[in-house]
Amino acid sequence: MSRLSLALCGLVLAALPSTSALADTVTFDFSFTSGDGISGNGSFTATSDGSDQYLIQSIMGKTSTNGKNDLSIGSLLAPNSFPPANFGTPNDNLLLFSPKTDTYSFDGGGLAYSLSNGAIVDLFSVGENDGVLLRRAGAKNDNNDPDGLANFTIAPEASPVPEPTSLMLLGTGVVGMAGILRRKLA
């Protein structure tokens, strides 16, 4: 029976470090308003590379143009797909977020997503300024696109990942159950 107990304890110990990978995925709530009448809100899920950079994996919410068209966010655009060549730094869907100082920003490429009507939105930061770029569906040139400063609010949602103390308590409970099982079978 000692082999079964050792195998069970080994399984529990092997599983503990793998649960910490869940802590690297964070959901952020966001909202923005620009002087050009573009606003939006929703949430996006991002994974950390171990530093203060988070790659945005998915997004959902709404964006309003000129305060009257409430459009659903269709999908996140793949990195390096917007804006078109020779029009600026392409999106990389990176969020720079420091949990220690609770500061955030996009970079020059920013986050790009499509709307339900086919329009494309790019949220970006340049220096100390945040901005938003809207490319309307079917636009033939880039001069018709509002491009302006925006006020962003981004906040991480509470993480449902258990802290290490809870995992340790679970592990000791499993070890205790293995001991009880061992005594009953002996």
Alpha-carbon distance of 17 to 82, in angstroms, equals: 38
Longest CA–CA span in the chain (Å) reads: 81
Specify the pLDDT at position 140: 52
Which are the contacts of 143, defined by CB distance < 8 A and separation ≥ 6?
A: none
Beta strands in 38-128 (DSSP E): 38-48, 53-65, 69-76, 94-98, 103-106, 111-115, 120-126
3-state SS class at 168: helix
Tally Cβ neighbours within 10 Å of residue 84: 10
Specify the pLDDT at position 23: 46
- Reading the chain (186 residues) residue by residue, the pLDDT tens digits are 566 666 655 665 665 554 444 447 889 999 998 887 888 999 999 998 878 899 999 999 999 877 677 899 999 999 988 876 566 788 899 998 887 888 888 888 889 999 998 888 888 887 777 878 777 655 555 444 556 788 888 888 865 655 677 777 777 888 888 888 888 887
Specify the pLDDT at position 19: 43
- Which residues on adjacent β-strands are paired with residue 48? 54
> pTM score, two decimals?
0.69
Specify the pLDDT at position 15: 59
Q: Are 105 and 96 in contact (CB under 8 A)?
A: yes
Q: Phi first, then psi: what are they for 103, rounded to 5°?
A: -115, 150
Alpha-carbon distance of 177 to 42, in angstroms, equals: 44
Specify the pLDDT at position 124: 86
